[in-house]
Amino acid sequence: MHPAFVTAAAEAAIPIWFVTTATWDGIRGRLAPQAQAYAQAAGFEPKPGRLLVLPEDKDAPGGVLFGLETGDGPGNPFLPGNLATALPAGTYRFANAPHDTRLAALAFGLGSYMFTRYRKTETRDVKLALPQDLEAGEISRIVEAAALARDLINTPSNDMGPAELEESARSVAAKYGAKAQAVVGDDLLKQNFPLIHAVGRASVRAPRLIELRWGDANHPKVTLVGKGVCFDTGGLDIKPESAMLLMKKDMGGAANILALAQMVMDAGLKVNLRVIIPAVENSVSGSAFRPLDIYPSRKGLTVEVGNTDAEGRLVLADALALACEDEPDLLIDMGTLTGAARVALGPDLPPFYTVDDSLAAAIEKHARAERDPLWRMPLWAPYESMLDSKVADTSNVATGSFAGSITCALFLKKFVAGAKAWAHFDIYAWTPSGKPGRPEGGECQAARAIYALLKERYS
C-alpha cells in the first residue's frame, strides 16, 4: 500500500468535510458548536480550494473544511490533491463524498508526491483512510506507478543515463518476474538497430535497446514502446540554452511506459506484455551523426537526417519496426517528441494519433473518465509528402515549419506494419507549475488512461 494511504478502520481518523455554497449550511449545522463558532470567527467561505482546520474539543475531534466547486458537474475532481501537502500530520477520512470519491482519493495520493533524492525535505505524516467502497489496491497501484514515472523524469541526467534507465527497467522487471534483456553499443549494429546506434554513438554512455517480456504467451499481445533519450543536446543541430534546460525529461516516454507496464503487471492483466525502450544520449562529439547523413533503418527504409534534433523519432523507428515483427494485437508508443504539440495543445493536453476509430473512441472515453486528458489529432495523409527526400526513402523532418507533430506521427507510421492496432502519444511529461495532484516537475501522462483501457479489455 502506498504510504499516503491506510485501509484500517477510519472511525478515529480526522474528518474532512467537502463543502460548496449549496451544502455549507447543512454541513455547518452538523458540526459541534465550538467548530461552528471557530469557522465563523475565521471567516470561512466555501470557495473552491479554501481550507480550514477546526480545533478539537472535549466532545468531538477536530475536522477539516475544504471548499469545492458548486454545480452538478465534477469541476476539478483533483482539487483534493492539495490536501496532501496542506494538512498537518495525522490520519484523515472523507466525512462526506466529494464530487468524485475515487478521483479525490487518487488526487490525494498523487498530490503527496515529493522528489527528495538530493535534498532533505521536512515531511509531514499525512495519511488518508481510504473509503471502504473504493478498491484500495487499485488506487495505490496507480499512485505508485505515477511516482515511478515522476522519479525517473526528475532524476538529472548525470544519474539517469542509458545504463541507469536500463537498471530501472530491470528493477521493475525483477519485481514482477518479467524477463529483461538489452542490446548495447556496437551490438546494435550487429543486431540491425542502425538508427538507435547512430543517434547514441556520440556519447561516452553507450546506447542500448532495452526489452522486457511478461505474461502468458497465449494471451493477447500488447507491446509498449517508449522514447528513452536520457539527454538531448540536439546533436550538431544544437539546442539553445533555453530549449536544452529541461532535456533531462526527454526520456519521459520511457518513464511513462515503464509506469504503465508496472500497472499492468501489478494488476495481473491477461496480456502477453512486451516493453521496448531505445535508450540513448544525443550528444555532440566527433562521432556525432550529421545533418544530411543517410542511414538504413531496421525496416529497410533509408532515412535522410534533415535535423539531428529530431532524434527521438529515429530511435522509435527502429523500436517500432522490432515491435511489429511480433504482430502485436495492440501497439502503443509514447515519447516527448515535438514542440509543435505544445504550441498546439499546451503542456497538459497531449495529442495522440491512430487510424483506428474504435481504439481512438476507447482512448478518449478513458481519458475523460480518468481525467488524464488526451486529444486525438489526424494522421493527415496529404502531409506525407512533406517528408519526401530526393536521395533517400524519407527524411526525418518535414520541409517547412508546419504541422510538426502530425508529420512526426506520419514518419513513425512508416515503420508500423503488422500491428493490428497502433496509437502514438506525443507527451510533454512535465508540469511547469504545480496544480492539484500534480506537483511541479516530471509527470505521468497518458499512462492512467491507457491502463484503464487495458484493464477494461484484459482483466
* Dihedral of the alpha carbons of 164, 170, 172, 176, in degrees to the nearest 10: -170
C-alpha cell at 332: 502503443
Phi, psi of 134 (to 5 degrees): -95, 155
Task: Give the containing element (helix H, strand E) for 153.
Answer: helix 136-154
Q: Clarify whether 313 is annotated catalytic.
A: yes
Q: Clarify whether 47 is annotated catalytic.
A: no
279, 208 in Cβ contact below 8 A? yes
- Using alpha carbons only, give the angle 26, 30, 32 rounded to the nearest 5 degrees: 140
240 Cβ neighbours under 8 A, 6+ residues apart = none
Strand intervals (E) in 161-309: 179-184, 208-215, 221-226, 228-232, 272-282, 294-296, 302-304
233 Cβ neighbours under 8 A, 6+ residues apart = 239, 244, 247, 282, 283, 284
| Amino acid (1-letter code) at residue 225 | V
C-alpha cell at 410: 506520419
49, 19 in Cβ contact below 8 A? no
Phi, psi of 249 (to 5 degrees): -85, 5
Catalytic residue among 201, 313, 342, 448: 313
C-alpha cell at 243: 530549449
Across the strands, what pairs with 91?
A: 127
What size, in residues, is the chain?
A: 459
Task: Give the containing element (helix H, strand E) for 67.
Answer: strand 64-67
Task: Give the containing element (helix H, strand E) for 446.
Answer: none
Helix, coil or strand: residue 385: helix
Catalytic residue among 28, 170, 239, 376: 239
49 Cβ neighbours under 8 A, 6+ residues apart = 66, 67, 79, 82, 436
Q: Residue 200 and residue 250: Cα distance in Å, rounded?
A: 14
What residues are labeled active site?
239, 313
